[in-house]
Amino acid sequence: MSVLRFLASRLGFYAIAAFVALTINFFLPRLLPGDPATAIFGRFQGKLQPEALEALKEAFGLADAPLFEQYFTYLGHVLTGDFGPSVSHFPEPVSAVIGQGLLWTVLLVGLAVVISFIIGTALGVFAAWRRGGRLDRWLPPILALVGAFPYFWLAMLMLYIFGFELGWFPVRHAHSDHLEPAWTLTFIGDVLAHAALPALSVIIVSLGGWLLSMRNSMIAVLGDESIALARMKGLSPRKVMWRYAARNAIIPNVTSFGMALGFVLGGSLLTEVVFGYPGTGYLMLEAIQSQDYPLMQGLFLAITLAVLAANFLVDIALIFIDPRTRIRR
Amino acid sequence: MVGAWLFGAFVLLAIFGPLFVGDPLAYVGAPHGSPSAAHWFGTTGQGQDVLAQVVVGTRVSLLLGVLVGVVVVSVGALVGVSAALAGPRGDRALNLLINVFLVIPGLPLAIVLAAFLPKSPWTIAAVLMFTGWAWNARVLRAQAMAIRDRDFVAAAICAGESRLGVLWREVLPQLRALLMAQFIGAIIFAIGAQVGLEYIGVGDISVTTWGTNLYWAANDSALLTGSWWTFVPTGVMIALLSFALVMLNFGVDELANPRLTTGRIFDAWLRTRNASVGPDAATPIVPLVQDGPQEDARP
Amino acid sequence: MSTKTRTPVMAIRNLVVDYVTQEGPLRVVDGVSLDVHAGELLGLAGESGSGKSTLALAAMRALGAPGVIRGGEVLLSGDNGVEDLLRMSPARLQEVRWSDVAMVVQSAMGALNPVLKVRDQIIDALVAHGVPKARHAPRVAELMQSVSLPPETADAYPHQLSGGMRQRVVIAMAIALRPRLLWMDEPTTALDVIVEREILELVAELSRKEGFGVVLITHDLPRMLEVCDTVAIMYGGRLAELATVDVIHRGGARHPYTSGLMAAFPSLHGDESALQAIPGDAVSLRQPPTGCRFHPRCARAQASSGCMDRTPPWRQTNRLGVACHRADEPE
């Protein structure tokens, strides 16, 4: 019963967050100072088909209907998945352009973030357990140094060294041009080869954050009486470490995993740009270069919804990890 | 300590550095020239001096980072601490606001905002202030709540001190170290995000900053032409500055967290006596005879 | 008392414990000796900072950083004869703790693992000490019954239980392997008075029934006098007095600090008129007074007896004793 209540309250929260994102998205072009919307609009006039211009007009709030009516029309459109036509890919609708990009982003970033979280968390457990040990003394500063580089810059460097100079990895796109997408081993292998380097760059940069936060929460838990008691009970150090310490220390980390997801995702978008990886980040670059505002806004919404969905998955994971979300008193 | 020195060096470089290098946008040599005596860091794809660009870029990027850091932490503190002291209903509303801003991915929002607004470093700063405060607010709210529930603060509230008085006299002093740490973290965030936004092309590409340096490096096909010197120096500077700040933060953390120091002293003391805490964490035994007389003089 | 002649289940000898600080080691427990017999309830009292909790944790070798044991013995008598807990191999220590000597720590909420059911936390202890699997479920049921909890409590998570129930669970866990000695470090600080009383009575009853010795550490002196047989009073890291409850009730405390403590608490049987606080501040371990550590606060302190410059020796009579220069002098 209270599992459902927990999930319902989380869903309610995501609905509010989604609503806020939608509203920001709607008002963005309408609140601009000095009416640059008209200026931008003017630039496109004569270069685009009339339908595309109409879409832009709607996106910029230059339509004639009163504001609140525009707002409800907009909400109705978004709820049916209609983000209008893309300017740069006209007449393709924004939703179609985004669809495939989102898939690639989820693949790349999902893979990288999950691997990074697992490795970083495990390293954090060991570092805290052997506090002041070799791992604990060397790894955090090294990873702090690596994590100090911007995501995309490290991606550039890795692409330059391993892609261009050494030629170990493919340098662009999500798969080789000559392969048709299919569930074959060749294609999957090809996709993984293309994802490896960008994923690796994201993993390396984000590892330190997970390690440090797990280390700190583990150290806090290790100071608890429950750990002293578990030791006195005669449990083996390994059991104390995993079943009593790590099992509890991971709970706040899983919660912040959801929160940090948006941040890591933001960085990964730029990594996509560096690698020409056809995800939402690369689309964002295209949209900026061609001033395709409807596409930009659609991407923002799609990414937001994806992050909200991922957070909901984290909530479900929490139900399994923390009995306090499962059973109230 | 290293962190403080390094950060100080960056501040000096930002203030005085531009006086010693030439115009970062002037055409000074053949494009994509590798590092040489005339151009230590080589030239860009536009034939501009990379060293001059890196140095001049430091000024805007650092200023912007510090500015955004101050605002983001102040807003975070305002919202977070207000939530902690506002009573249940106010707290629920503010906490909802914080969580909504946390869960909406900041960089995509910042990109879209910056794309619509006029291009300038100040736009970037404003956008980052708008999208970046929530994390600080969350942490400060939690901390302020912990302080609020301590006896002496509860006593001050009972004694009829106003909320503002409690905030100013009892809560803020307790948060000083945390605020400092957050400020440092916020600078790192701001510089990284600024560079990212400019790299993807929503900044003013005619202004020389670390972000636009990297934008132009990518735009001029630095990787294809193998001219690594157009992007490596700027990246190393960003990393060095972030690293200096991270190190500074470790230092602040130690000041704020005496337990860290206690643990270190304990471990060192044990090491000099050839003792250590085993994996079962049993209390170590160090017989008194091992020590010199000065230590045992105390009764 | 009938316990006089038997070997104690635990004998602490000259235990010295330091905390390592920036300025060097700080002596927190300074040469304490204490015997506990089977079935005996020993109360350990003293102001906060007197070293009583440190003593308990050190005697379990469970004192965390920055604590370090500097000397002494913790002699346990069990099936293998008398063994010193401070000189055991890690493997032996792991065996002995909980099966011979167990502990109930201060906060029952903090002591329990929030993500495991009560049953699993008890079974973890059984498994660690080689209890065969077939015995697990019956033993958990027995334990729930011994601490007067409904059997389904075993399948609850700690957060589903009230403070009193949690403390009962912690006690059940502590006696799961039928230890000979149970340390109880302020087990009732977080509980209300009624629950506190129930818990202490439960422990006294269990001790009588199962025959284990108990060291009960508490601030609550009157309650301690109600349930315990013997009382040990600590001051400034040293043992000040060891007396039977009967003697103390009869006003026979020999250390001025014991008398002071007694006067500072309202008696359980009315008579609140004579409440008196002990003057002065608790002893500073950084710069402890010379001689008897209590002398700056003691009305009977007298230079000619050596109170100001000589550490008072432990004067043992039978099992009891006192560390006061003027204990044998008339008032």
pLDDT value at A175 more than 90: no
pLDDT over 90 percentage in chain C:
39
Of C184, C181, C179, C174, give the one whose Cα is nearest residue C52. C184
**Is A232 within 8 Å of C124 when comparing Cβ atoms?**
no
Mean pLDDT confidence for B142-159: 76
- Chain A residues close to B106, C-beta within 8 Å: 262-263, 266
- Which member of B105, B113, B218 has the closest CB to residue A303? B105
| Domain ranges (residues) in chain B | 2-24+53-277
Among chain C, residues having any CB pair with chain A shorter than 8 Å are 57, 60, 62, 64, 94-95, 97-99, 102-103, 105-107, 110-116, 124-125, 128-129, 157, 159-160, 170, 173
In this structure, of A138-142, B154-158, C147-151, C250-254, the range with the lowest mean pLDDT score is B154-158
Q: Whose structure tokens read 């700063």?
A: B125
Is residue B290 within 8 angstroms of chain C, CB to CB? no
Q: How confident is the model at residue C140 (pLDDT cuts 50, 70, 90)?
A: very high
- Which member of B278, B280, B288 has the closest CB to residue C71? B288
pLDDT tens, residue by residue, A208-234? 888 988 988 898 888 888 898 999 999
Of A219, A328, B150, A229, give the one whose Cα is nearest residue C187. A229
- Which member of B266, B285, B288 has the closest CB to residue C20? B266
How close does chain C come to A233, measured CA to CA in Å?
A: 5
Query: Could you tell me the end-to-end alpha-carbon distance of chain B, in angstroms, rounded to an integer?
Result: 38
**Is C71 within 8 Å of B287 when comparing Cβ atoms?**
yes
Question: Within chain C, where are the H helices?
Answer: 52-59, 90-99, 108-111, 118-128, 133-146, 163-174, 193-210, 221-227, 245-249, 256-264
- Which member of B275, B283, B298 has the closest CB to residue C61? B283
Any idea which architecture A104-288 has in CATH?
Orthogonal Bundle (1.10)
Q: Is A12 exposed, middle or buried (0-12, 13-18, 19+ CB in 10 A)?
A: exposed
Is residue A28 within 8 angstroms of chain B, CB to CB? yes
Strands C10-21 and C238-244: unpaired
pLDDT tens, residue by residue, B254-283? 666 666 677 788 888 888 888 888 888 888
- Chain A residues close to C114, C-beta within 8 Å: 226, 248, 322-324
pLDDT tens, residue by residue, C78-116? 888 889 999 999 999 999 999 999 999 877 778 899 999
- Which member of B263, B265, B295 has the closest CB to residue C22? B265
**Is A17 within 8 Å of B104 when comparing Cβ atoms?**
yes
pLDDT of the residue at C56: 93
Interface residue of C12, C18, C88, C311 to substitute, partner B, most B CBs within 10 Å:
C18
DSSP state, B118? Answer: P
Is residue B268 within 8 angstroms of chain C, CB to CB? no
Sequence-ordered list of residues with C-beta below 8 angstroms from that of C224, at least 6 positions apart, any chain: C43, C45, C216, C218, C231
Run of H or E residues at A97: helix A94-129
How close does chain C come to A260, measured CA to CA in Å?
A: 24
Cα–Cα distance, B68 to C254 (Å, whole number) = 69
Q: How confident is the model at residue C156 (pLDDT cuts 50, 70, 90)?
A: very high
Cα–Cα distance, C312 to C297 (Å, whole number) = 15
How close does chain C come to B161, measured CA to CA in Å?
A: 29
List the chains bordering chain B where 3 or more Cβ pairs fall under 8 Å.
A, C
The pTM for the full model equals 0.84
Cα–Cα distance, A323 to A315 (Å, whole number) = 12
Q: What residues 18-47 of chain C have any CB closer than 8 A to a CB of chain B?
A: 20-22, 24-25, 27, 30
- Chain B residues close to C24, C-beta within 8 Å: 295, 298
Mean residue pLDDT across chain A: 82
Cα–Cα distance, A263 to C8 (Å, whole number) = 62
Highest mean pLDDT among A15-29, B45-59, C183-197: A15-29
Q: Whose structure tokens read 């065969």?
A: C132
Cα–Cα distance, A251 to A243 (Å, whole number) = 13
| Domain ranges (residues) in chain A | 104-288
pLDDT value at A270 more than 90: no
Mean residue pLDDT across chain C: 85
Cα–Cα distance, B81 to B129 (Å, whole number) = 18
Kindly state the tokens that stand for B40: 């230590």
Domains annotated on chain C, with CATH: 10-100+179-322 (3.40.50.300), 105-178 (no CATH)
pLDDT value at A244 more than 50: yes
Superfamily designation of domain B2-24+53-277? MetI-like (1.10.3720.10)
pLDDT value at A266 more than 50: yes
